[in-house]
Amino acid sequence: MHLTKLLPLVGLTALALTGCNTGPNTTAAAAEQEEWVELFNGEDLDDWIIKIAGHPVGENVLNTFSVQNGKIVVSYDEYDELAGRWGHIFYKEPFSHYRIEVEYRFVGEQVDGAPEWAIRNNGIMYHAQSPYEMAIDQGYPACMEVQLLGGNGEDQRHTSNLVTPGSHAVYQGELRTDHIIESSSETYHGDQWVTAEVEVHGDDLAIHRVEGEEVIRYSGMQLDDGTPLTEGYIALQAESAPIEFRSVRLLNLEGCMDPQAGNYKSYFVADDPDSCTY
């Protein structure tokens, strides 16, 4: 066969292979393309809900949370002392299956009156109760926590540990009721930027990653009373340590899992048939 007649046939075969197992509106490449969403728009906190212990929902006590130079900033510049004012800022809607990634760095000095264990210590709270359900004096939402720790300049200090405020999890096949389970991460001293991620599959699985490397995984996330934690809010913590977040983004892992649909994604782990489009 003449080469010029063979080439179109080869091209059509390659195209068919590229588009196999997907619907008419979804190519294989599109199905694999991750669609991350920026939860923080870099300009304001309109999509976020503040809750600080001892104060009603929405009250930004002493400007604890602000946006500066395109970053979410936790600052205690207007505080004389902490006085038990543990703070959290919640994204406006809950999720169940997803990956949440933040870029953070610790800056400045701890506020007066805070405990020593809270030095360079904040967190990403996930599967958290609604801020509107929290009692006025409640310090922490019931949730799972990815503990963010900065180094003290000398000692080993893992970050992205598992902390369990009002909750438990199954770690290495055992239901653990201790409050902190340490990760295997490196220690990050100084004011350097660090990327932390948690991948969550309902109450079936959670994986913490730091700088792209897995540092801990567990399952069976549940409240103290055994109620499974399958979904909830995401919050960033203000636990007496000044910190900045320059990126907060989310990849939803729940969606249409029908390969014939136009919005099918190969990385979804939880099916939402009602979301399918054809």
CATH of the domain at 114: 2.60.120.560
* Cα 142 to Cα 90: distance, rounded to the nearest angstrom: 13
Q: Is the pLDDT assigned to residue 259 strictly greater than 50? A: yes
Which tens digits make up the pLDDT trace of 186-200?
Answer: 999 999 999 999 999
* Cα 163 to Cα 167: distance, rounded to the nearest angstrom: 9
DSSP state of 168: E
Q: Is residue 151 one of the residues assigned to a domain?
A: yes
Q: What is the pLDDT averaged over residues 270-277?
A: 97
Same domain (yes/no): 71, 202? yes
Which tens digits make up the pLDDT trace of 149-187?
Answer: 999 899 999 999 999 999 999 999 999 999 999 999 999
DSSP states of 41-92: -SS--TTEEEEETTS-TT--GGG-EEEETTEEEE--TT-S--TT--EEEEES
| Domain that includes residue 21, residue range | 1-33
Which tens digits make up the pLDDT trace of 218-238?
Answer: 999 999 999 999 999 999 999
Q: Is residue 167 one of the residues assigned to a domain?
A: yes
Write the Ramachandran bin of 144: left for phi over 0, alpha for psi from -120 to 50, otherwise beta: beta
Same domain (yes/no): 24, 51? no
* Cα 104 to Cα 250: distance, rounded to the nearest angstrom: 15
Same domain (yes/no): 14, 83? no
Which tens digits make up the pLDDT trace of 80-112?
Answer: 999 999 999 999 999 999 999 999 999 999 999
CA angle 137, 127, 189 (to 5 degrees): 80
Q: Is residue 270 one of the residues assigned to a domain?
A: no
pLDDT at residue 25 in the model: 55
The answer to whether 225 touches 61, Cβ cutoff 8 Å, is: no
Which amino acid belongs to residue 223?
A: L
* Cα 118 to Cα 104: distance, rounded to the nearest angstrom: 16
Q: Is residue 206 one of the residues assigned to a domain?
A: yes
Among candidate residues 3, 28, 5, the one with its CA nearest the CA of residue 18: 28
Q: What is the pLDDT averaged over residues 241-247?
A: 98
For the four alpha carbons of 203, 94, 40 and 164, in that order, the dihedral sign comes to: negative
Same domain (yes/no): 120, 4? no
Q: What is the mean pLDDT of the chain?
A: 92
**Element (H or E) spanning 30, and its range?**
helix 28-32
Q: Is residue 88 one of the residues assigned to a domain?
A: yes
Same domain (yes/no): 91, 214? yes
Same domain (yes/no): 17, 94? no
Same domain (yes/no): 191, 123? yes
Q: Is residue 163 one of the residues assigned to a domain?
A: yes
**What is the distance, to the nearest Å, from the Cα of residue 104 to the centroid of all Cα atoms in its chain?**
12
Same domain (yes/no): 114, 181? yes
* Cα 41 to Cα 163: distance, rounded to the nearest angstrom: 28
Cross-strand bridge partners of residue 126: 144
How many domains would you assign to the chain? 2
Same domain (yes/no): 26, 67? no
Same domain (yes/no): 177, 206? yes
Same domain (yes/no): 193, 117? yes
Same domain (yes/no): 108, 166? yes
> Token match 């103290």: residue?
224
3-state SS class at 133: helix
Cα–Cα separations (whole angstroms), residue 18 to 14, 30, 85: 6, 11, 55
Q: Is residue 269 one of the residues assigned to a domain?
A: no
Q: Is residue 181 one of the residues assigned to a domain?
A: yes
